[in-house]
Structure 1
Amino acid sequence: MELSIRPYRSDDWEDLYEICVRTGDNGADASSLYPDPRILPDIFVGPYLALEPELAFVVADAADAADAADGADGEGGDRALGYILGTADTRRFVARYRDEWLPKVVDRYPDDGGRGSELRRPEVMLSPIADAYPAHLHIDLMPQAQGRGFGRRLMDTYLAALRERGVDAVHLAMGAANVSARAFYDRLGFSELARPVPGLVVMGRSTRL
């Protein structure tokens, strides 16, 4: 399968939602964990695509893209198999999330003390870390795109976009149980910054390493 990295397009939306769900349990499929698994991408994908689509990049099936351009019946047609997305300014993002994104989705999910409550409380993203490391990101790859260097290439693409915007540092949050993700971030120069709650690790790095 020939893959390439390109900017996000609006017709990638559902592909990225599916990737988020299929990797949402520490890299494994989270489809069975929630009554409506779309709550995961409504927290971790949708607001970024809606508010800062210029900072979203995808790994796509380049062969399918060529088939589509030639008018062939390529299965899936330029199907996204991975993504990186985020914000250049976490504090500004949280304000826009509450004002612009939350009203569109909040009525779909109960305030149940779990993900439904997380959806309603974007302020948990705000801490002194967000001042020192103002950008943050989410990255996920389907198995077809793993082990081929695309995670690093997505990260390089995203960090370059942050540098163009004058952003000096970025952070991310990950499940402490996701050992393979931790090894990946360690290799890319991320350092552990905090463990704000059990099971969650926050890591960060300069955009210029």
Structure 2
Amino acid sequence: MTSPSPLLRPYRPEDREALFDICVRTGHVGEDARHLYPDPDLLPNIFAAPYAALEPELAFVVEDGGRAVGYILGTADTASFVDRYRAEWLPGLAERYPAPGRQPASRAEEMTALMHAPERMIVPELADYPAHLHIDLLPTHHRAGHGRRLMAAFLDALNEQGAKAVHLSTLTANTRARAFYDRVGFHEIAVPDAGTVTYLGRSTQ
């Protein structure tokens, strides 16, 4: 008897544990980041969980063997998301992750500083690409078409909400991720002083 094929479906609240696991296990240039962060919930609380909580209608997963192994999530309007993140999401984390009172001295402190600065997501050069996304897939499920399927579902959902274009940021060093984004229609957006990241965008159609 053959195993069922991985299933693409909307995110459900019971996927939260898997969502956190996928995020941290792909959080270091696409590889496992658990050794870099004493608290494995830190990255997911910045880059995954707030989207699932605030805009669940834009969250999709690939399920295999009864558990999510990849996800895509994001927002149709970055500026509105930033406002909601600060008002509704950040207060619940401030005690667990207080804002650093000094120059960050570790990766964890750098990420905590990012957590407390959601306005960093508003970049003038990205104004024509108001939506943004995050997509992660466990390495065991790469190169099987799941990323394309997730992206297609997300773009369709954005288009239904009236969002005409979307952006993302990727570490410039992550050449494998960049190759995938190129294949699914993203192009580079020039952003001065972008540091170690590259910004990419495309229409939702």
CA distance in 2, matches of 1:191, 1:198: 18
Q: TM-score, normalised by structure 1?
A: 0.89
Runs in 1 of length 4+ with deviation above 4 angstroms? none
Structure 2: state its 5+ residue gaps.
105-109
SS at match of 2:70: strand
State which of 125, 133, 137 in structure 1 corresponds to 2:133.
137
Q: Is the CA contact (8 Å cut-off) linking 1:106 and 1:119 kept in structure 2?
A: no
Q: Report the CA distance between 1:110 and its aligned residue.
A: 3.9
State which of 135, 148, 152 in structure 2 corresponds to 1:152.
148
Mapping of residues 17-166 of structure 1, within 5 Å: 17-61=20-64, 64=65, 78-112=66-100, 113=104, 114-166=110-162
Structure 1: state its 5+ residue gaps.
65-77
Aligned length: 193
SS at match of 2:132: strand
Structure 1 counterpart of 2:204: 207
SS at match of 1:107: coil
Q: Is the CA contact (8 Å cut-off) linking 1:84 and 1:139 kept in structure 2?
A: yes
Change (3 A) 1:148 1:3: same
CA distance in 1, matches of 2:53, 2:188: 29
SS at match of 1:32: helix
Structure 2 counterpart of 1:72: none
Q: Is the CA contact (8 Å cut-off) linking 1:91 and 1:126 kept in structure 2?
A: yes
Q: Report the CA distance between 1:111 and its aligned residue.
A: 2.6
CA distance in 1, matches of 2:126, 2:84: 15
RMSD: 1.2
CA distance in 1, matches of 2:44, 2:190: 24
Q: TM-score, normalised by structure 2?
A: 0.91
Q: Report the CA distance between 1:188 and its aligned residue.
A: 1.1
Q: Report the CA distance between 1:130 and its aligned residue.
A: 4.0
CA distance in 2, matches of 1:127, 1:143: 31
CA distance in 2, matches of 1:194, 1:48: 25
Q: Alpha-carbon deviations, 1:112-167, whole Å to 9, x = none? A: 33111100000000022442101000000012221100101100000000111111
CA distance in 2, matches of 1:34, 1:108: 14
CA distance in 2, matches of 1:198, 1:124: 13
State which of 194, 199, 205 in structure 2 corresponds to 1:197.
194
State which of 11, 15, 29 in structure 1 corresponds to 2:18.
15
Q: Is the CA contact (8 Å cut-off) linking 1:171 and 1:203 kept in structure 2?
A: yes
SS at match of 2:127: helix
Q: Report the CA distance between 1:46 and its aligned residue.
A: 1.0
Structure 2 counterpart of 1:178: 174
SS at match of 2:63: strand
Q: Alpha-carbon deviations, 1:24-80, whole Å to 9, x = none? A: 00101000112213110000011101100110000001xx3xxxxxxxxxxxxx200
Structure 2 counterpart of 1:68: none
CA distance in 1, matches of 2:125, 2:6: 35
SS at match of 2:83: helix
The alignment-based identity, stated in percent, is 55
CA distance in 2, matches of 1:172, 1:118: 16
Structure 2 counterpart of 1:71: none
